[in-house]
Structure formats: structure tokens, C-alpha cells
Amino acid sequence: MARKTASDDPLAPVTLAVGQEDLLLDRAVREVVAAAKAADADTDVRDLTPDQLQPGTLAELTSPSLFAERKVVVVRNAQDLSADTVKDVKAYLGAPAEEITLVLLHAGGAKGKGLLDAARKAGAREVACPKMTKPADRLAFVRGEFRTAGRSATPEACQALVDAIGSDLRELASAVSQLVADVEGTIDEVVVGRYYTGRAEASSFTVADRAVEGRAAEALEALRWSLATGVAPVLITSALAQGVRAIGKLQSARGGRPADLARELGMPPWKIDRVRQQMRGWTPDGVAVALRAVAEADAGVKGGGDDPEYALEKAVVTIARAARSRGRA
């Protein structure tokens, strides 16, 4: 769950959402917009990317209106703003306009740190939206989702949901919402098992994600769990193939914003961000090796070998090694 500063008024003149977890960033925006529309149903919402916020644009958007309308101005990927636009934003922070709420979404790294520091110095309301890379963080997130919904779920149920769904926070949030809507009383492990355990798509892609990230032990654990819960081996080879091909596509693509690459490669923007993180350590030769391993595994699970499970394990280990090929002899 996103963490907020003590000044927790969504209608504060400036809200600074910091981090790289898309779901939490989107929620920070929705919270501000909902509060603004509750105060004024005719609130004008402007949602802008860095290329849309040119020098002078912010002044135009925040200039006084004859009708004194309430407005929310959302700036995404604020760390990518041009130097001249950053000057405009910093100037605005010193004297924010009435009836205007500015929402800055910032990745939180070294890039654009001057703007981040300026917003904090100006007293912006801050919402922390960190990427949840650890299983314990995702488990805490699920518990928080149940608490926010006013529902009780056992620790075993929360863990089972994380195990079944994987690392995608949007899917975890959606699963909690479905369980809350469908189930009365305390949600336990049996209920989660009935809904999600053995869900083929989730478990097969968990195997693929761990493999292309170079996490062999976790990938093998996910593979054995998937096979034990009845996931068809062919679904796992398909997920492995998609994972490796995504790495190869992004390696050969032109640089650019996630939205542009999404259109070029036919992937959603969130997946572009995920694959970018996964492709660290990969080389073109590593991709070629991994694709051959997937092809061999696919042949093995479709009758070309005596032991489909061994074929999958061999592919997973080969892919994980290929993921760490950069810098190796």
C-alpha cells in the first residue's frame, strides 16, 4: 500500500507520488481526482506526459479562469521533463494557484532529482509508491487490500494468493476484489485454493519471469509447483518462449518511451517496463541460446523426449544462465 506523509489532504496544492509501482502511482492520481470531483463535479483534469508539458504550458494551465474552475494537473514521469519545463514547475511550486491541484509522478531516482528536492522543500504532500520486489512486500500489500476492504483473511489465505497470482500488483488487487465480492465471512486458504490455486496462466508466467530474471532456484521451485498443481507442460514452454522473445524484441528495438515501444512491439506499456528490468544481463547470444533451449523443451514435452519434466527443468536452468551472460567469458 502507498505510504503518505503526515499532510494527507488529497486537495493539497501539490501531491508528489514517488516510485515505480504503476498501480500505486495510478491510485495516487485517482485519489486526488476523486477528492477534487467530490468538491466540484466539474473539475477539469489534465493528464500530461513530459512531451506534452512544454515550456509555458504549465503557466497556461494554471492561469486564473473567469469561472474560477477547479483543476487537477497530472504530470507523469516528471523526472523526464526538459530543463526549461523544470524551471517552470519549480517557479510554480513557489506560488501554487488556488483551486489548482498539481500531481507530480516521479520515479524517485537520481534523474530529475532537482525537481524532486524542490517539490519536497515546497512542502508537497508525498505519496510513496515503491516497486514491490520482495515477496514479503507483496504479502503486506495483499493484507492491506483486505483491511482496506474491511474484510478478514487468514495469513495462510494471503500467502496462498501471492503464491498463486505472482508479482503483478494489479492482478493481486483484482483477486482480492473478486474474493471480497464473492465470499462472505473470513477468507481462508481453502477459498483461495478454490479460486486460484493451479491457475495455469499465472503459474506458468511466474516460471518464465523467474527464469528470464536469472533466478534459477526460484524458477525451478515455481516449475515444480506448477507441474504438481496440474499445469500443462506446453503452457509453460509457451510462457518461456514469450518471455525470451520479449527480451529479444526489446533488445533490437529503438530506444524510446514505453508508450512508443508498446505501439512498436505490440506490448502494453507496463510490460515494456517489466521487460526492461528483466533484460539486464542479457546479450543477443544469450537470447539465441535461450530460444534454442525453449525449442528443445517444446519438442520434449510434445513427445520428442521421455521426460517432459526434465526437459522443462533443463530449459529453465539454461535460460537463467543466459540471463546472466553479460560480462561472463
CA 126 – CA 140 distance, rounded (Å): 20
What local confidence, expressed as pLDDT, does residue 270 receive?
Answer: 65
Given CA atoms 78, 80, 81, 83 in this order, what sign does their dihedral have? Answer: positive
Tell me: pLDDT of 38 over 70.
yes
- Band (pLDDT 50/70/90 cuts) for residue 200 is very low
What local confidence, expressed as pLDDT, does residue 12 receive?
Answer: 95
CATH number of the structural domain 206-323: 1.20.272.10
Rounded to an integer, the average pLDDT of 1-11 is 64
What local confidence, expressed as pLDDT, does residue 308 receive?
Answer: 86
CATH class of 14-129: alpha beta
pLDDT, mean over the chain: 86
Q: Where are the domains of the chain?
A: 14-129, 135-196, 206-323
Determine what percent of the chain is predicted with pLDDT higher than 90. Answer: 51
Q: For residue range 163-180, list pLDDT tens digits in order.
A: 777 778 888 898 899 899
Protein fold of 135-196: Helicase, Ruva Protein; domain 3 (1.10.8)
Give the cell for residue 243: 518471455
Q: For residue range 220-260, list pLDDT tens digits in order.
A: 988 888 887 677 788 889 889 989 998 988 888 756 666 67
Tell me: pLDDT of 6 over 50.
no
Q: Which position has the higher pLDDT, 55 or 266?
A: 55
Q: Which position has the higher pLDDT, 91 or 66?
A: 91
Q: Which position has the higher pLDDT, 151 or 1?
A: 151
Residues for the chain: how many in total?
A: 329
Tell me: pLDDT of 139 over 50.
yes
> Within its chain, how far is the Cα of 101 from the centroid?
25
Angle between helices 233-252 and 308-322 (to 10 degrees): 20
